[in-house]
A = this chain, B = another copy of it.
Amino acid sequence: MKTLHVGLIGSGFIGRAHAIALAGVGAVFPEIPAPVCELLADQDASKAQAAAAALGFRRSTGDWRELVADPAIDIVDICSPNYLHREMALAAIAAGKHIWCEKPLALDATEAREVAEAAARAGVRHLIGFNYSCNPLLGMAREIVSSGEIGAITGFSGRYFEDYMADPAVPHSWRCERRFAGAGALADLGSHLIDMAQVLLGPIASVQARLETIHRKRRVPASGASLPVENEDIALALVRFASGVGGTFEISRVATGFKCALSFTVFGTQGSLSFEQERMNELRLYSASDAAGRRGFRTILAGPDHPDYRFFCPAPGHGLGINDLKVIEARNLLRAIADGVPARPGFDVGLRVQLVMEAMERSHASGAWTSVPTG
């Protein structure tokens, strides 16, 4: 396997998470040659230089186009603000680079389709950052659902609650503006929930949604002015999967007290399973076939019996963290490049998530059940 050279665009929160994952992926997964952290691009040359030093990249640049054009780069890793994803991805595709792109793929479905189609045509490998579904317990959940172990699936209940915008005093920022952020809680949080739901139960066919902005204005710290918040704090939906199964989504960035409360329950005729990200090393499974008097939800701790866990630790119950999920995600891309197969979740997944989000927005506007285009 060839050693791959990565060019990272952006060194904020999520850029650092990617850098940490790239640093560790080789040691965690001995099957994968450690990628080389080659070049880091940020807004200006001096910021990029400092970030490259801190994050272990060999070189830096203040111009992302230079990075995309650099012949030494195999993978363009896009961790810039949302509104730049499309342009950078298209440029990287045009340059024949493989791409690791943070979610969302673009600000709307039209853009997302443009990017996904370009990537498909170019034949490059592409992966979008839905890290939560890289959890080993999700792999097992998927297996339990698809194998029929809990019988026929009869429902899905999903939530993603955080509270980073719950305080009315949180200032106005790019997150509140559609041109920079696109949707609000739906894009930040809902996209992960939609991905996870579709990973488990397949495509969503129709939705009935209601969006709400609790804090309609927020103060700009510099000027003291109050500016409108252009996107939603809360998104609630009834959903219908293509399989006929029904369910609910609850998404909020103003859910006081909840920090990373991505959770779901899948109901089946013979069992159920529940997961919550705040206890990401536990999966709860109920099996109707357990003996009488002894039935109950089992709290299964992640361990070497679950996909990929053993690469991090040989002992069960010792606990993975959020950054470990990014390491698995990085491995998924590197492995796909080595094997010449599509990475999962690819840009097509990013597009399908975007289509569900937009169907929810349209449903809110019309008050009616709304179909999700098939992609």
Contact = CB atoms under 8 A, between A and B. Distances in A.
Interface of A: 13, 16-17, 19-20, 22-24, 26-28, 30, 34, 53-56, 140, 150-151, 154-155, 157, 159, 162, 164, 166-168, 208-210, 212, 214, 234, 236-238, 240, 246-248, 250, 252, 254-261, 265, 267-272, 277-288, 290, 292-301, 303, 305-306, 312-324, 367-369
24 contacts: A16-B27, A23-B34, A27-B54, A34-B56, A140-B293, A155-B252, A162-B317, A167-B288, A237-B238, A255-B265, A257-B286, A260-B317, A261-B317, A277-B319, A278-B317, A279-B279, A293-B300, A294-B298, A295-B300, A296-B300, A297-B298, A312-B322, A313-B323, A319-B321
A372 B13 CA distance: 46
Given A22-B27, A256-B272, 9 more contacts: A20-B27, A20-B312, A255-B272, A256-B268, A257-B271, A278-B317, A290-B298, A293-B303, A313-B322
A303 B161 CA distance: 16
Given A140-B293, A258-B272, A305-B292, A319 B278 contact: yes
Nearest to A55: B27
A298 B298 contact: yes
A236 B238 contact: yes
Contacts of A237: 238
Contacts of A267: 252, 254-256
Contacts of A208: 208, 210, 238, 367
A312 B301 contact: no
A207 to B, nearest CB: 11
A159 B159 contact: no
B318 A322 contact: yes
A155 B167 CA distance: 14
Contacts of A17: 313
A56 B26 contact: yes
A316 to B, nearest CB: 4
Contacts of A240: 210
Nearest to A17: B313
A89 B82 CA distance: 51
A300 B294 contact: yes
Contact of A26 (B23, B271, B315, B317): B23
Nearest to A305: B293
